[in-house]
Amino acid sequence: MKKVAICGPSGVGKGYISNIISSTYGFPVLDTDQTVHDMYENDGELIKKLALLFGDDVVKEGKIHRPTLRNIVFKDRRSLELLNLTVHKEVRRYIFDWFKKMASMGHTAVFVDIPQIIESGMTKDFDLIIGVESERSTRIKRIIKRDGVSLDDAEKRINNQLSAEEYKKVCHYTINNDGEDVFNALRKIFEEVNLIEKTETE
C-alpha cells in the first residue's frame, strides 16, 4: 500500500486538493487537522496536558477551545513548538493505526493531509509527498475567511509557520493552487507514480 502525504502551510488549500483526491479518484484521505480537533474534544488526557501547559483558559465546557489556544500558539513560535511536541505523538499513533486499518481493507494507496509533516518528523513514513503552495496574499484571504480572524492574526500565523521553500525540500512534487489546473496536475503525478493508468493521447 502506497502512503502519500499532502502537506503545506496554512491557507494553501490542502483541503481542496484532498477533496479532489477522494471525490475524483476514490482514494481514502485522512485529515489530521480534523483528527486533532476530535482529540481536543474527546481525549481527556490530552486536554489535561494542554491545560497545564497553556492555562485553564484553553478549556471550556471540558473541551479545548481552539480559538483561545490558537491565539496563544500562533503569536509565539516557542508555544507553537511546545504544542506540536505534545500533540504530534498522539497524531502519529493515530495515523499508523489508520494505515493498518486501510491495509486490512485492501486499499492500494492512502493519503494523509498532514500540514506539519516536517515538525512531526514523519517525512520518512511516506512513500510520496505532495506539497501545495499558494501566494501569501491568497493564503491570508483564505485564513481570514475560513477562521474569521483578523489580518494581523492571519499574518502572525503565517510568520510562525515553515516557509514554502522548507516544504519544497521534502516534497517529491509541488502543486500551485493559485489558478493552476490542479485536476490535471494531480492526474499527471498519479500517472507518473502509477497510481492510475496513463491517459491515452492521440
Phi/psi of residue 128, each to 5°?
-145, 135
Confidence of residue 201 (pLDDT cuts 50, 70, 90): low
Task: Give the mean model confidence (pLDDT) for residues 13-18.
Answer: 94
Residue type, 56: D
Angle at 55 between CA 54 and CA 57, to 5 degrees: 115
Residue of 102, 72, 172, 92 whose CA lies nearest to 131:
172
Give the tens place of pLDDT for each residue, 107-162: 999 999 999 899 889 999 999 999 999 999 999 999 999 989 899 989 988 988 88
Per-residue pLDDT at 37: 92
pTM over 0.85: yes
- What gap in Å lies between CA 132 and CA 11, rounded to an integer? 10
pLDDT surpassing 60 at residue 202: no
- What gap in Å lies between CA 181 and CA 70, rounded to an integer? 32
Q: Per-residue DSSP letters for 116-156?
A: TTTTTT-GGG-SEEEEEE--HHHHHHHHHHHH---HHHHHH
Q: Which cell numbers in the block locate residue 39?
A: 482529540
- Strand 59-60 with 63-64, pairing: antiparallel
Per-residue pLDDT at 152: 92
Give the tens place of pLDDT for each residue, 43-80: 999 999 999 999 999 999 999 999 899 888 877 878 98
Q: Per-residue DSSP letters for 73-94?
A: HTT-HHHHHHHHHHHHHHHHHH
